[in-house]
Amino acid sequence: RKEVEQDPGPFNVPEGATVAFNCTYSNSASQSFFWYRQDCRKEPKLLMSVYSSGNEDGRFTAQLNRASQYISLLIRDSKLSDSATYLCVVNTFSGGYQKVTFGTGTKLQVIP
């Protein structure tokens, strides 16, 4: 089983739609989680951290389910500019060593 798994998509949704992505992780000891956005041929950019209590930033809501070991990202009222690949990132500390693992990304295409 991969350490971090995402559905690669693509998710093709119309403007204004609500879309949700999930990301599962295998290491129950993982401590912190993030969503990044990567545009084509560009570096990843931090979208938001994911907190246990869930957090919202405008149209974006992130949630963490430790029991089932997944995180989710919900995008409401999709815009054309939301088209990108969304990367799930899991941070694990073990034996003084930090390991940051990226999912393969989920591609979102918002259609006019």
Partner 1 sequence: GAVVSQHPSRVICKSGTSVKIECRSLDFQATTMFWYRQFPKQSLMLMATSNEGSKATYEQGVEKDKFLINHASLTLSTLTVTSAHPEDSSFYICSAQKGTGYNSPLHFGNGTRLTVT
The answer to the question of residue 87 lying near partner 1 (CB under 8 A) is yes
Q: Which is nearer to partner 1, 43 or 67 (CB)?
A: 43
Among 11, 25, 44, 64, binds partner 1 (CB under 8 A): 44
The residues in 88-107 that bind partner 1, with binding defined as CB under 8 A, are 89, 91, 93, 97-98, 100-105
To 5 degrees, how large is the angle CA 7–CA 10–CA 13?
A: 115
Cα separation, 94 vs 79, whole angstroms = 39
| Residue that has been written with the tokens 């949700």 in this structure | 20
Residue 109 binds to partner 1 (criterion: CB under 8 A): no
The 8-class DSSP code of residue 88 comes to: E
| Cβ-contact 49, 55 below 8 angstroms | yes
Query: Measured from the CB of residue 47, what is the shortest distance to partner 1 in angstroms?
Result: 10
Strand ranges in 53-111 using DSSP code E only, listed in sequence order: 55-57, 60-65, 70-75, 84-94, 97-102, 106-111
Shortest Å, Cβ 20 to partner 1? 20
Q: Tell which one of 10, 16, 20, 46 touches partner 1 (CB under 8 A).
A: 46
The residues of the shown chain that bind partner 1, judged by CB under 8 A, are: 31-32, 34, 41-46, 49, 87, 89, 91, 93, 97-98, 100-105
